[in-house]
Structure 1
């Protein structure tokens, strides 16, 4: 699936043109803690516009350089939840980690785990966004993050360091109808809308199970009797009888 990710840097977006231009999903910036605590001022407009155009969407929240403990990750997740509550997302919601210091690798990993666990407990399908090398290799301990879906940025080739991922950001200079500035381009390799909706995540209600009638009992009713050297077998409404003979 071909998609984009957007924020205030893409300015005013014509989502109908984005849709007709072949874009199949969008990940929208909700806010962050990299410049104080804030909501991206285009989030509501982009959410409403993409939904109206029928484009499935996800969201992301960029954490700041001080998000380097489990408690920090939990706090940022709660801020993210406040921004997106009451909305539905067909694609995952992501922690965006790219501005912590490499020396805080352990703490940043703790923060990611705390963030994702908090989002999951609140009923969201959460993943981690970072660059292949400068993010997942230099700033995170990938071995501790196997439980979480990953959205990996690498331009020029598919990710090499991260081997398992659900989405790939492959360009930051894309040209898309309906968006004047350059835009990030992505590919999704999983049917996220089906996964998320069928499990009742990201604001969706879990579908009611279909009423499946019990299969009719097809086993015949059998009654066997033996008396005075004769046998009688009744199978449903059919009777069979005869003499018992020694072999």
Structure 2
């Protein structure tokens, strides 16, 4: 009996020894595997960080530096990628000079820009000879407008008088139409009204499509889409061009960037409205309206001042 019990104890002891030995070996191997995995993870982490740094440094995200920065009330500084097929501003900002509230573009010590005003019936009676003597080279005259509520098109009461007065004084003249078109068809109607109303009048500067957002009231144009507004620009400009005039688009910086498909409008000259010491608009423009509070002898009160980088009279 004692011999049997002794044999059983020996067997149990042997089994325990075998079990403990296997456990130790298993734990050791798992530890080595864990260390190896951790080492590999650390290595992968270092490689990933290095790879990210390399990709950033190599412009992996295609950050060419060509971006438009704007300020937004909610987001602060925001950026918009540049349209590669739309030409950038072709002039040197540093060559735009100011003197006595007037701006000039200077190239090789010579003024190569032209100074202009834009006027409407709101300027009342203008002494165009005094305007000319003060150094004004051209005038952009409002020919008409469409009501943002009624949608009816009207002629500016003083458009013919202003065109004739400017030309008689030796000032170059163009016209603009304040549009509130909501379809391309309405834009064509506006262009045809301009063409008909110019019959017998002498202009040698562009005919401008001036579509504006109404900020302080409800307007029929509030829901006009980007595609429709761009269609209107094309429709107006093509109609004007087919009549033998030079078409142009007038717009401010933010509306241009947010509301126009500029890729479709590269065939037309552009008149920028940005009241600033210097223009910050990225893309090219041919005329710049830089203030609405200009003072010009012969015109009572404030008047918009512009410079043109191109002489349209030639």
**8 Å CA contact retained: 1:158, 1:168:** no
- For residue 138 of structure 1, give the secondary structure of its aligned residue in structure 2: helix
Deviation at 1:102, TM superposition (A): 6.2
Deviation at 1:103, TM superposition (A): 4.7
TM-score (norm 1): 0.74
Output aligned runs, 1:110-189, within 5 Å.
Answer: 110-133=231-254, 135-189=255-309
Contiguous gaps of at least 5 residues in structure 1: 195-247
**1:134-167 deviation per Cα after TM superposition (whole angstroms, max 9, x unaligned):** x312332222211110001001144433511110
Output aligned runs, 1:164-243, within 5 Å.
Answer: 164-194=284-314
TM-score (norm 2): 0.58
**8 Å CA contact retained: 2:129, 2:169:** yes
1:46 maps to which residue? 162
Cα distance change of structure 1 residues 74 and 4 upon mapping to structure 2, 3 Å threshold: same
Cα distance change of structure 1 residues 63 and 162 upon mapping to structure 2, 3 Å threshold: farther
- For residue 94 of structure 1, give the secondary structure of its aligned residue in structure 2: strand
1:88 maps to which residue? 202
- For residue 109 of structure 1, give the secondary structure of its aligned residue in structure 2: helix
Deviation at 1:70, TM superposition (A): 2.0
1:245 maps to which residue? none
Contiguous gaps of at least 5 residues in structure 2: 1-113, 214-220
Q: Distance in 2 between matches of 1:162 and 1:122?
A: 31
Q: Distance in 1 between matches of 2:223 and 2:307?
A: 27
Q: Distance in 1 between matches of 2:156 and 2:258?
A: 27
2:145 maps to which residue? 32
Deviation at 1:185, TM superposition (A): 0.2
Aligned length: 191
Q: Distance in 1 between matches of 2:281 and 2:131?
A: 32
Rg (Cα) greater in structure: 2
**8 Å CA contact retained: 2:209, 2:236:** yes
Q: Distance in 2 between matches of 1:139 and 1:157?
A: 24
Cα distance change of structure 1 residues 107 and 118 upon mapping to structure 2, 3 Å threshold: same
**8 Å CA contact retained: 2:143, 2:176:** yes
**1:75-112 deviation per Cα after TM superposition (whole angstroms, max 9, x unaligned):** 11111111112222121110101134365221111001
